[in-house]
Amino acid sequence: MKPVNLTNQVEVEQLKKVSFIFNGKCLTGYKGQPIAAALFANGIRTIRYCEVTGEPRGIFCGIGHCFECRATVNGIPSKRTCLTLLEEGMIVSSDKKIGSGADFYES
Ligand code: FES
């Protein structure tokens, strides 16, 4: 009997490497991975700073519930980076303040 692979992993060789910018720094990741995961893989833990206390914020839930991973993506503020998938040439920057929440209702 052939063993069953219960994981849902994609071979790394099949993934397309892309470049993107975070706070002015050129980084690389894989097309289609969450931006937050690409930032984490590049050693970045702080995605933004709390508007009230100034404390660093980053990935907390990783599933779109906490909004701690918000960033401006291609000029659109308050995108949840754990849900927004990476594409070639994206420009990502730390949110300066709470945005319109435009992505609250995106699927
Ligand atoms: S880490 Fe919680 S919404 Fe992205």
Task: Annotate 86-98 with DSSP letters as a single string.
Answer: P-TT-EEEE-SS-
Whether residue 6 is contained in a domain is answered as no
Q: Of 44, 69, 84, which is best to mutate to test ligand 1, by the most ligand atoms within 8 angstroms of its C-beta? A: 69
Would you say residue 107 has pLDDT above 60? no
Average of per-residue pLDDT values in the chain: 85
- The total of structural domains in the chain comes to 1
Whether residue 102 is contained in a domain is answered as no
Q: Ligand 1 centroid to 63 CA: how many Å? A: 6
Q: Ligand 1 centroid to 16 CA: how many Å? A: 24
Whether residue 1 is contained in a domain is answered as no
Residue 41 domain boundaries: 16-95
Which atom of ligand 1 is found nearest the CA of 80? 4
State pLDDT tens for residues 31-76: 999 999 999 999 999 999 998 888 999 999 999 999 999 999 999 9
Give the separation between CA 100 and CA 94, rounded to whole angstroms: 15
- Determine how many CB atoms are found less than 10 A away from the CB of residue 20: 23
Domain of 24, CATH number, reads 3.10.20.440
